[in-house]
Amino acid sequence: MPRRQQLKNTFYERRVYGHRVTISILMLLVMTMILIGRYSQLQISDYEIYKTQSDRNRIQLLPIAPKRGLIFDRNGLLLAENIPSYTLTVVKERVKSLDETLAIINEIIPLNDDDIAQFRKRLGRRRPYEAVPLKFRVSDEDIAKLAVNRYRVPGVEIDAQLVRHYPQGELFAHLLGYVGRISERELDVIDPVNYSGTHYIGKIGLEKYYEELLHGTVGYQNVESNAHGRILRVLERHDPLPGGDITLNVDAHVQQVAYDALKGHRGAIVAMDPHTGGVLAMVSAPGYDTNLFVNGISSADYGALQNDPDLPLYNRALQGQYPPASTIKPIWGLAGLHYGVVTPATRIADPGWFSLPDDSRRYRDWKRGGHGSLINLEQAVVQSCDVYFYELAYKLGIDRLHSFGIRFGLGEVTGIDNTNERSGLMPSRAWKEASRGGHWYPGETINVGIGQGFMLATPLQLAVATSVIAARGELYAPRILAAAGEESIDSPLRGRMDDVSEANWDAITHSMEQVVNGAQGTGRGLKAGLSYRMAAKSGTAQVVGIAAGEKYDSEALNARNRDHALFVAFAPADDPKIAVAVVIENGEHGGSVAGPAARKVIDAYLLGDEKPDVVAGSDNHDSFIDAHTGAHVHE
C-alpha cells in the first residue's frame, strides 16, 4: 500500500475516534445534568412531599383495643372474663402469593375448611396492611412450629390478645348472650375509630344490650417500623380506657338451682325481687356453650345447634309465648273484686259446666260433676274451678279483662335490659279486628277467663305479673343490671295500682297461700317441710286440641303434644322477697312438675345452703272442654 494512503487512513481513524470521545463526553455531561436536576428536585423542590411519604412508610399509627368490662353476679362471682389467646394472622401486602403461603401454613399447622373460608371473608373487608386472623386459639406447640418455619412465611404473625370467656358456659347462655366477630353489617353502624383494633362485639343478650358500657375507648400508639413491618420502637402511646365492669342482680347459686331443676326438660324459669324488679335468675333450657361463638363457631357445631329439636338457641324465658292457663286466675279474681262484680263471699253453683245465655254450648270444668253448689272466690282459686272463672270473665267482659291485664304487664314487652323480648298477647276487640278482621265473641272472653284462647304470655311476663301481686300493685321493669362500676342502677317503676284496696289484695294473697296450704289446693304437695309461707298458683296449658267428649290421654299423645306445666309463686307470703314463674314444656302437671322446681328456686334464695327435701306436688289437675275447638284442656 502506498505510504500516503496509509497516513491518510490513520488521520481519518483519529478524527473518528475524537468525534466519538466528544459525543460520549457530551452524553455523560447531559446525563449528569439530568441526574443533578432530578436529585435537586427530590432534595429541594419536592423534599416535603417525599419526606411525608417516607414518614408514612416508616411511622404507623396503631390502635390499641380496650379491655372489655367484666361481668359479676350479685355476690361477686365472675360470669364473663377476658383470657389471653393467640391468633395466627396474615398481612396480605407482605405476602408474595397468598395461596402458596396458605399451603405452607397448612403443612406447619393444619387448617380446616372453616378456617380458610372465614379468613377469605375477613380478607375482603379488611383495611390495607391490616393483620387478618386466620386461625384462633393457637397452641404453644403450634407457635413453636411457626417460629422455626418463620423464614418460609413472611407476613405471617402470631397476635396475642384478650378474648371473652364464660366460666359457667351454658348456665348463663340466654341471660348473658355472647360476643362474636364483628360482621360486615355491624361495620356499617359502629364507630370505626372506637372499634379500630377490636375484633369482637356483643351479639345477643346482656353482652349486646350493654355493648357501649362494656366496650371501652380505643387507645393508640405511634410506632417506627422497618421495611418488613417489624416495629422498631414506640414513639408515642395513649392507653385505651377499659370497658366498665358490671354487677348483676342475678344470684349464680339460684341460677344453678333453676337450671338443674329443668334438667331433662324444655322450659324456662324466671325469678325476681318483687319490690325492686331485680332479676334473681333467668334460665332457658336446654342451653348451649356460649364460648363456641366467641371466635366464630364451626359449621358443624352451629348445624348441630340449629338442627337440635329441643331448640337450645331459643330463649324461652323472653321469647317463648304460652297460654298462661290457670296461673291467670288470681288476677281475674282480683279484677272481679276491684270492679265489684263479686265479693269474697259471692258463691256460684258449679254443676261441672257453664253456658252463655241463650247458648246451648257447654264450657266444661276440669272436674266432671263440678265443685259443688257453693263455690266462693277463694275456693275457686284453690281448687282452680273453671266454671267460676267462666262466669266471672263473662261478667267482667273482655274490655275490663284487657285493661286490667295490661296493668300487670301482660300483652306488652316488660322493658327488661336484654334483647329480643316478645310481647305475648293480651287480646282485645281492637286486636281481633286488626289481626283477624272479625268481631269479638263472648265465647272468646270465656276462654280468656281461664288463660286460654288467644291469650299468650312469656315466662318473664308471668314472673312480672306475679311480682305485681306480691308487691301489691307495684309494676317494675325487670332489671338484670344492679350496678355499673360503683353506681347502683334502679329498676324503673312502670305503674302503681293505688286504686285497688288492701282488703282485695289480702283476699287474693290468702287464696294463693291456700293453693299450697289448703287441703284441696292444687299445690298442696309442696307444703311438706316448708319453713316459710308461700303463695302460688298452678296451671296446665294445652298444646293440641282434643275432640269434644274425649278425655285427655297422656299415653296416647306424642310426648311433644302433651300439655305444658306452669307454676307461679312468691314468698314469704307476708313479706315477699322473691317471685317465681316456671314453664315446663309438655310437663303436663303444674302442681306436681313445675311446682317442685319453683320450690327449689325459692328455697335456694331464702334458705341459702339449707336445702330441705322437696316433695312433689299433687297430680290432681283440672281440665275443660274448649267450646270452640272441642279441645280438652286440663290444669
What is the H or E stretch that residue 597 is in?
A: helix 595-607
Q: Which residues are catalytic?
A: 326
Helix (H, G, I), strand (E, B) or coil at 283: strand
- The x, y and z cell numbers of residue 553, run together, are 290421654
Residues 6+ apart with CB under 8 A from 78: 70, 71, 72, 167
* 485 phi-psi bin (left φ>0, alpha ψ -120 to 50, beta other): left
User: Which amino acid is it at 197?
Assistant: G
Residue count of the chain, please give it.
Answer: 635
Q: Where are the alpha helices (DSSP H) in 407-448?
A: 429-436, 442-448
Determine the Cα–Cα distance for residues 104 and 603; give it in Å rounded to an integer: 59
**CA proximity to 454, closest of 578, 306, 324:** 324
Q: At what angle do helices 459-470 and 329-338 cross, to 10 degrees?
A: 40
- The x, y and z cell numbers of residue 393, run together, are 270473665
* 555 phi-psi bin (left φ>0, alpha ψ -120 to 50, beta other): alpha
* 8 A C-beta contact, residue 543 and residue 563: yes
Q: Is 188 flagged in the annotation as binding?
A: no
Q: Is 553 flagged in the annotation as binding?
A: no
Determine the Cα–Cα distance for residues 272 and 602; give it in Å rounded to an integer: 10
Give the DSSP per-residue string, 603-616: HHHHHTT--PPPPP
What is the H or E stretch that residue 23 is in?
A: helix 3-40
Helix (H, G, I), strand (E, B) or coil at 533: coil
* 8 A C-beta contact, residue 53 and residue 229: no
Q: Is 385 flagged in the annotation as binding?
A: yes
Q: Is 371 flagged in the annotation as binding?
A: yes
Residues flagged as binding site for Zn(2+): 350, 365, 371, 385
Q: Which residues carry a binding-site annotation? A: 350, 365, 371, 385
